[in-house]
A and B are shown apart, each in its own frame.
Chain A
Amino acid sequence: MSPLPQTLLEAVASAAVREGLADAVFTRLSTPIGRLLVVQGPNGIVRVGFEEEPEDALLAGVAAALGPRVVASDREMADTRDAISAYLEGGDGPLDLPVDLGLVHAPFRRAVLETLHDTVRRGEVVTYGALASRSGRPKAHRAAASACARNPVPIVVPCHRVLPGSGGIGNYGGGAERKRVLLELEGAL
């Protein structure tokens, strides 16, 4: 049985996007920190997964939130792919991509991630406590840490730039080693 040609899959996905039939579009991307799965919703990137995360469960979560018409297209995601690749391969610009926090339901967690995305630039770091303050609840450093731990769009919403006030690099959803690599890439370490 011969495999489905990639051109056919791309044609289906492009037509689906053109006709407004796609609830979400995803792409798989090889990077220096491993394979990433990047999912785009109507308003921006909704999900970034590291290669250890089971793809089926990740996409099922997106389908449950945005709708089941999830399609793959490298072509429709070309600009996003280029931006992430350039960034992770050492380009010196900011990673400025639209984000959709539709998978984050708790209002404070969402506020924390919005604040992080909007205010902590490349090369900067912030403590969980400072991030909680900026998000309007100075004492909520644990909740801020929890928001970062459950960030559905790592790298794009830069939770790797948030460090414990007690020193050290702290935890990271993608593993502490990736956090260190990202911070070194940005010249923050």
Chain B
Amino acid sequence: MTATALPPFWSLVEAHGDELLAHARRVAGPEHAEDVLQDAFLRALRAYPRLRHADHLRAWLYRVTTTAAIDAHRGRPREQPVAEPPAVGVHDDVNPDGAFEALIAPLPETAREPLRLRFVEDLDYDHIAGRLGCSTQAARQRVSTAVRTLRERHAV
């Protein structure tokens, strides 16, 4: 066996599972953390044999978990409107534990705003462009850059 052989997948799960669950709670909120982590482990398993080296596997699992949290958030149906929709506080309504705000807190406001418009308000790029006062193409670019920044931020 060479020094770069991939370790048995479950050794990683047993070594880092607890801290990954804590990470999933931070990025997805306590109620979604276990589903997100389960999804993340399966994504990681699918990709595992194709990894080209065995370096930074812990950081890689953090990144996969963050991505699973973002995708889960994106795909989750928006909550049913209550009888009296609040005029403000839409962020709290969609994500009562504020996990999303906590997730994006380290980013500059220029990255946070596109992320909120896309993932919290669930707007399409035309509407995001309108809110940001830029072209649709530029709105798409700003969301994509912000997601990448977020992933890099949580890959450490």
How many chain B residues have a CB neighbour from A under 8 Å? 25
Whether A4 contacts B10 in the complex (CB less than 8 A), given A16-B42, A60-B1, A64-B1, comes out as no
Residues of B within 8 A of A134 (CB): none
Interface string of A1-37 (1 = CB under 8 A from B): 1111100110110011001011000100000000000
Q: Judging by beta carbons under 8 Å apart, are B18 and A69 in contact?
A: no
**A84 at interface, CB cutoff 8 A:** no
**B9 at interface, CB cutoff 8 A:** yes
Q: Judging by beta carbons under 8 Å apart, are A2 and B11 in contact?
A: no
Whether A70 contacts B10 in the complex (CB less than 8 A), given A8-B34, A12-B38, comes out as yes
Residues of B within 8 A of A42 (CB): none
Residues of A within 8 A of B11 (CB): 56, 59, 70
A-contacting residues, B18-73, CB 8 Å: 18-22, 34, 37-38, 41-42, 45-46, 48-49
* Binding site secondary structure of chain B: helix
Q: Judging by beta carbons under 8 Å apart, are B38 and A1 in contact?
A: no
Q: Judging by beta carbons under 8 Å apart, are B21 and A68 in contact?
A: no
Q: Judging by beta carbons under 8 Å apart, are A19 and B5 in contact?
A: no
How many chain A residues have a CB neighbour from B under 8 Å? 28
**A45 at interface, CB cutoff 8 A:** no
Residue of A4, A5, A19, A22 with most partner-chain B CB within 10 A: A4
Q: What are 12 pairs between A and B in contact, CB < 8 Å?
A: A2-B22, A4-B17, A8-B21, A15-B38, A59-B8, A62-B8, A64-B1, A69-B9, A70-B9, A70-B10, A70-B11, A72-B14
Beyond known contacts A1-B22, A69-B45: 4 more, CB 8 A cutoff: A1-B18, A3-B17, A12-B42, A16-B42
Chain B residues close to A by CB (< 8 Å): 1, 5-11, 13-14, 17-22, 34, 37-38, 41-42, 45-46, 48-49
